[in-house]
Amino acid sequence: MKKYLLAAAIASLTCSSYVNAWGQTGHRVTGEIAEHYLSDQARAAIAAILPNESLAEASTYADEMRSNPDEFWQEVAGPFHYVTVPAGKTYVEVGAPEKGDSVSALADFTKTLKNPEASLADKQLALRFAVHIIGDLHQPLHAGNGTDRGGNDVKVEFFREDSNLHRVWDSGLIDRQDLSFSEWSDWLGSKISEQQAQEWMITDPMIYIAESTNIRDEIYPEGDDLSWRYVYDHIPTVKLRLQQGGVRIAAYLNEVFAH
């Protein structure tokens, strides 16, 4: 147990800036979009677990708790926000490390949600984390290649301000549009066709990861001065991943609460 906690603590120190996928706005967008695709059963189950709390609100909980001094948040939960897939590999080939990752955590939290003996507090944590993790897996740099902390070590200037590639994808591209999360979700949600929603109703995290790694390998810039052209080239991908993330949060929860 001590060995596990030490490894997790080291991981949390070396990857501390790796864990804030999409920023608050992006996560809330995926949560808000998900609300529109929930089944009646899922909606009722979610309301029983998180009364008076929307999925948009729940989506940011896992990031907001990072400064909580509890051992779980400081020594265990950090790796739950990402996966590592080296270039040329698939997640199935590499699997989860000993300290865990998004996939192993999502599996554990799903078991909690399906367990009738689990406490309400445990189910609340599990639900909030599940919503967050699925959003994380749609941010391409949360499927990192293992060489640069998910782009955190790739230093860039974004509109003449010092940044890094991970931060640009977490929040820079989104915040540059100067929209609230409700404006983002309204605009993006209205553009999802019924056919797209059906095609995106996928509950397999391996698909989310494969898509993200394919995108990841195409978004590293040639230079370090990013501005309008980088936004033009990549904001359509940001919008797509937010839309897909929202639909898939709903699809996943619909499956979890189907019975």
Q: Is the dihedral of CA 90, 80, 31, 66 positive or negative?
A: negative
Residue tagged 């309400």 (tokens): 120
For residue range 77-119, what is the model confidence (pLDDT) as tens digits?
A: 999 999 999 999 999 999 999 999 999 999 999 999 999 999 9
Residues 148 and 141 sit within 8 Å (Cβ to Cβ): no
Tell me what the mean pLDDT of segment 241-246 comes to.
Answer: 98
Q: Which of 220, 204, 203 is nearest to 87 (CA)?
A: 220
Task: Give dist(CA 126, CA 82) in Å, integer.
Answer: 16
When computed from its CA atoms, the radius of gyration of the chain, rounded to whole angstroms, is: 18
| pTM reported for the whole predicted model | 0.92
User: How far is residue 178 from each of residues 99, 138, 181, 251, measured CA to CA in Å?
Assistant: 37, 21, 10, 29
Task: Give dist(CA 81, CA 102) in Å, integer.
Answer: 5
Tell me if residue 219 falls in helix, strand or coil: coil
pLDDT class for 21, splitting at 50, 70, 90? confident
Fold of 2-256: P1 Nuclease (1.10.575)
Residue tagged 């810039």 (tokens): 221
For residue range 202-228, what is the model confidence (pLDDT) as tens digits?
A: 999 999 999 999 999 999 999 999 999
- Element holding 143 (H helix, E strand): strand 143-144
Question: Domain residue spans in the chain?
Answer: 2-256
- Element holding 173 (H helix, E strand): helix 173-175
For residue range 30-70, what is the model confidence (pLDDT) as tens digits?
A: 999 999 999 999 999 999 999 999 999 999 999 999 999 99
For residue 88, which phi and psi values (nearest 5 degrees)? 85, 0
